[in-house]
């Protein structure tokens, strides 16, 4: 894509959804870290179902540590990999208490020292809570970046670097949300719904599905 095409790409997404947000539910920075950590290899819908009752009771790292690993497992046992995730959440909560005064740090290098928090999770927290211009590349963004020609790369890190270089203002803050939502609901993995996409003339995907498949 050219610079003008990229600008138009995001202009259309912004016009359609001016203030996109993560679909994860949370009440503070700590709950956001926990929710994103739990969302690895799970859907936001599934995480929200598991955390609604949990977050009604647990709002701080201290409360989570007091709940304990077994207590946490009871809340999140419907989520994939819940055993390892419960262990990590308790460990990251204790680390926040011990090293950060129970506050979530606003620095990526510090965030990724928390158990269960990788670069993608850190980028989500920095973007959603601290309003930093980060690009959290998940499977949706990896697919959309490559399929459309916006940011091609074989790995999330490669796509992230391309996005950081190519996404212009004033779209940088919300770019990763637009791309996730577009990949989740329109540019789907199995059959992209090109017939209802407002970006088809900008997209370089050669196998566009321009008619809705008959069932």
**Contact yes or no for 106/123 (Cβ under 8 A):** no
Q: At residue 215, does pLDDT exceed 90?
A: no
Active site residue 157: no
Tell me the mean pLDDT in the region 163-192. 96
% of the chain at pLDDT higher than 90: 95
At residue 128's C-alpha, the angle toward residues 166 and 94, to 5°, is 125
Q: At residue 213, does pLDDT exceed 90?
A: no
Tell me the mean pLDDT in the region 83-100. 98
Express each pLDDT in 130-176 by its tens digit: 999 999 999 999 999 999 999 999 999 999 999 999 999 999 999 99
- Reported as half-sphere exposure (CB side, CA atoms, 13 A), residue 171 has a value of 23
Tell me the mean pLDDT in the region 59-88. 96
**Contact yes or no for 53/75 (Cβ under 8 A):** yes
Would the CA dihedral through 153, 159, 161, 163 be positive or negative? Answer: positive
% of the chain at pLDDT higher than 70: 100
Is 197 within any annotated ligand binding site?
Answer: yes
Which residue of the set 85, 109, 120, 164 is catalytic? Answer: 120
Q: At residue 41, does pLDDT exceed 80?
A: yes
Would the CA dihedral through 74, 75, 81, 84 be positive or negative? Answer: negative
* Domain architecture of the chain: domains with CATH: 3-18+135-202 (1.10.1670.10), 29-129 (1.10.340.30)
pLDDT at 89: 98
Active site residue 120: yes
């Amino acid at each position: 894509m050219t610079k003008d095409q990229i600008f138009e790409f995001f202009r259309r997404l912004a016009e359609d959804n001016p203030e996109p947000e993560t679909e994860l539910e949370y009440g503070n920075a700590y709950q956001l870290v926990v929710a994103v950590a739990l969302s690895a290899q799970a859907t936001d819908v599934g995480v929200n179902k598991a955390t609604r009752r949990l977050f009604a009771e647990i709002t701080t790292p201290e409360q989570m540590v007091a709940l304990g690993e077994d207590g946490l497992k009871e809340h999140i046992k419907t989520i994939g990999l819940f055993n390892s995730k419960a262990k990590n959440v308790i460990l990251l909560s204790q680390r926040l208490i011990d090293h950060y005064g129970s506050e979530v740090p606003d620095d990526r290098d510090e965030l990724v020292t928390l158990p269960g928090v990788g670069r993608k999770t850190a980028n989500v927290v920095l973007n959603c809570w601290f309003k930093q211009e980060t690009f959290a590349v998940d499977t949706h963004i990896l697919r959309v970046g490559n399929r459309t020609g916006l940011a091609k790369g074989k790995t999330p890190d490669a796509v992230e670097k391309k996005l950081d270089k190519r996404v212009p203002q004033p779209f940088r803050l919300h770019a990763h949300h637009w791309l996730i939502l577009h990949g989740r609901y329109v540019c789907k993995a199995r059959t992209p719904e090109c017939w209802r996409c407002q970006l088809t003339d900008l997209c370089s995907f050669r196998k566009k599905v321009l008619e809705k498949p008959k069932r």
